[in-house]
Structure 1
């Protein structure tokens, strides 16, 4: 939980952003970009697409900066907008595959793995990531927010507009599908 002085600093920045101060926007969002990129990278399986999603999210937040509320934390709002941009990209990707346009999702993956992907068994990690990519968007969101980002069920529910019970069920289903796919791969 943020300390009161951090909350007041953020609230002051939000007020400046709402007034149109670009420098305040940069100071507000730049420290949060790595976390947003991590979420987008895990949702999309591609660093370049994650960068596009975060850039689009930040542009959208800047355009609608009057919606920012000084008394509410910015990270959950930015995370929600970023997730929405990821969903948009996933829908476009699915539509492109449906109509035979563009590359297969597996071809869209980055060639060079992130440093965290180099740890451990590369083949197994690649299979897990591939299976995560195949999860339906709602299940993937729950998995990324809870298991990877370490959010609580309540936080994830607030970001996705659902209930903690719904998040719990989605997480259960995502893990079950992954377990089944990995058991099939190993067996």
Structure 2
């Protein structure tokens, strides 16, 4: 999942640090689909994911002086996006606790075209699994999404989250275990 050549990326980071908006667009553009997918999986809502990603990009622009040309931008953008998702999840939790608004995001699972029974069953299963993942504690959800869905290594995830590889392994294991326990009927064939 490499974005740009390291030399090109380093040069773009230097230009971004100097305030070049065009360079910023070129720098982040290859990462947008992956970041949006990550935010969607974390938040369970396309609209909230887009908002979180916009906020993450705005924060990155504002803090552009902190960008290090020697380090890959992908990890930095992933961390900022995860932080913005965490912020939204915290606000959502407080709102639900206080009874302010209702959060029941619609997750687009597949196209609206009519399909076979298998397609309908698969959609339902995917929807149920997505909902089950949304109910996981944030730390378990982060690790599971980054490892199982995005295909990142435990080492990479440990660096992104600032924890040990063993912690990532444990979180992924616990997330999968909780999914199995709470949804055992869903996973029986």
TM-score (norm 1): 0.91
Instruction: Write 1 or 2 for the structure with the bigger share of helix.
Output: 1
Give the number of equivalent residue pairs: 181
Matching of residues 34-183 of structure 1 within 5 Å:
34-104=33-103, 107-110=104-107, 112-114=108-110, 121-183=122-184
SS in structure 1 at match of 2:5: helix
Q: What SS does the corresponding residue of 1:54 show, helix, strand or coil? A: helix
Could you give the per-residue CA deviations for residues 147-173 of structure 1, whole angstroms, max 9, x where no partner exists? 000000010010011110000000000
CA separation in 2, counterparts of 1:128 and 1:180? 13
Q: Is the 8 A contact 2:180 2:187 kept in 1?
A: no
With over 3 angstroms needed to count, the CA separation of the structure-2 counterparts of 1:23 and 1:142, relative to structure 1, is same
CA distance in 1: counterparts of 2:71 and 2:143, whole angstroms: 23
How far, CA to CA, are the matches of 2:125 and 2:182 in structure 1?
A: 12
Gaps of 5+ in 2: none
Is the contact between residue 125 and residue 186 of structure 2 (CA under 8 Å) also seen in structure 1?
no
Structure 1 residue 121: Cα displacement: 1.0
Report SS of the residue matched to 2:151: coil
Q: Which runs of 5+ in 1 are unaligned?
A: none
Q: CA-to-partner distance for each residue in 1:55-82, whole Å, 9 max, x for gaps?
A: 0000000000000000000000000000
Secondary structure of the 1:113 match is coil
The TM-score, its normalising length taken from structure 2, stands at: 0.90
CA distance in 2: counterparts of 1:175 and 1:81, whole angstroms: 25
SS in 1 for 2:68: coil
Measured in 1, the distance between the counterparts of 2:102 and 2:20 equals 40
Let me know the Cα RMSD of the aligned residues: 2.0
SS of equivalent residue, structure 1 residue 102 = coil
Q: CA deviation at 1:114?
A: 4.7
Shift of 1:125: 1.1
Q: After TM superposition, which residue ranges in structure 1, 4 or more long, deviate above 4 angstroms?
A: 184-187
